[in-house]
Structure 1
Amino acid sequence: MEPSMKTSFVFVLAAACLLATGAVAQQYKLGSLEIDHPWSRATPKGAKIGAGYVSIKNTGSTADRLVGGSFADAGKVEVHQMTMDQGVMKMRPVAGGVEIKPGERVELKPDGMHLMFIDLKE
Structure 2
Amino acid sequence: MKQVSLFAASLLFSAGVFAGSADQVVVQDPYVRLAPPNAPATGAFMVIKNNGDKDIKVVKAENTASKVTELHNHLNEGGVMKMRPVQSVDIKAKGEAVLKPGGLHVMLIDLKAAMKEGDVVPITFTFDDGSTKKVDAKVVRPTAAVAPMSEHKH
Work out whether the TM-score is over 0.5: yes
Q: Specify the alignment match of 1:86 in structure 2.
A: 78
Q: Counterpart amino acid of 2:80?
A: V
Q: Specify the alignment match of 1:33 in structure 2.
A: 25
- 1:49 lines up with 2:41 in the alignment: yes
1:67-91 deviation per Cα after TM superposition (whole angstroms, max 9, x unaligned): 1221111112111010222332210
Give TM-score, length-normalised by structure 2: 0.56
Root-mean-square deviation over aligned CA pairs: 1.8
Q: Counterpart amino acid of 2:110?
A: D
Percent of pairs with identical residues: 34
CA shift at 1:107, angstroms? Answer: 0.3
Partner of 1:99, secondary structure, is strand
- Correspondence 1:1-122 to 2 at 5 A: 31-95=23-87, 97-122=88-113
Unaligned regions of 5+ residues in structure 2, if any?
Answer: 1-18, 114-154
Partner of 1:68, secondary structure, is strand
d(CA) in 1 for partners of 2:109, 2:102: 18
1:80–1:115: 8 Å Cα contact kept in structure 2? yes
Give TM-score, length-normalised by structure 1: 0.70
Give the number of equivalent residue pairs. 95
Unaligned regions of 5+ residues in structure 1, if any?
Answer: 8-29
d(CA) in 2 for partners of 1:40, 1:71: 11
1:84-118 deviation per Cα after TM superposition (whole angstroms, max 9, x unaligned): 223322100012x0121211111011111111111
